[in-house]
């Protein structure tokens, strides 16, 4: 059974870049059915999809964040990553990685446990 685990710094300074990695176990990131997503949850509880990446490297990003987001994938390490540039306090959130199984199964399952990232000087 596929499991996901996020890792990265818990504290980032304003204007710097936030970088996170998701490690996949129990399955392959090269599954043709799977898209690998990043989702964040603000302190108020709202959930926001950030974007996803396919094993080929093709990406789709939330238009509201597109100018600041880059995702990449390393199949050999069974990892995919998120970089969010020029962060502000509004980027403080729990960041989750998750899988969606592509059209028409585009719901998220499973999710990682999440990692809290705080933006503060």
Partner 1 sequence: DIQMTQSPSTLSASVGDRVTITCRASQSISSWLAWYQQKPGQAPKVLIYKASTLQSGVPSRFSGSGSGTEFTLTISSLQPDDFATYYCQQYHSYYSFGQGTKLEIK
- Pick the binder of partner 1 from 36, 38, 80, 96 (CB under 8 A): 96
Q: SS3 sequence, 55-81? A: CCCCEEECCCCHHHEEEEEEHHHCEEE
Q: Are 79 and 65 in contact (CB under 8 A)?
A: no
Interaction of residue 17 with partner 1, rule CB under 8 A: no
CB neighbours (10 Å) of residue 53?
Answer: 22
**Using CB under 8 A, which of the segments 10-18, 22-30, 68-76, 107-115 binds partner 1?**
107-115
- Pick the binder of partner 1 from 62, 65, 68, 70 (CB under 8 A): 62
Interaction of residue 49 with partner 1, rule CB under 8 A: yes
Interaction of residue 114 with partner 1, rule CB under 8 A: yes
Q: Are 62 and 49 in contact (CB under 8 A)?
A: yes
List of residues contacting partner 1 (CB under 8 A): 37, 45-49, 60, 62-64, 96, 98, 100, 104-114
């Amino acid at each position: 059974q596929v499991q996901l685990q996020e890792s990265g710094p818990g504290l980032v300074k304003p204007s710097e870049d936030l970088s996170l990695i998701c490690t996949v176990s129990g399955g392959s990131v090269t599954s043709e059915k799977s898209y690998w997503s990043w989702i964040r949850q603000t302190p108020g509880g709202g959930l926001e999809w950030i974007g996803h990446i396919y094993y080929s490297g093709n990406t789709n990003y939330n238009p509201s964040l597109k100018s600041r987001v880059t995702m990449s994938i390393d199949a050999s390490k069974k990892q995919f990553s998120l970089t969010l540039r020029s962060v502000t306090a509004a980027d403080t959130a729990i960041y989750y990685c998750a899988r969606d199984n592509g059209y028409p199964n585009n719901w998220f399952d499973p999710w990682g446990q999440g990692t809290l990232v705080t933006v503060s000087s």
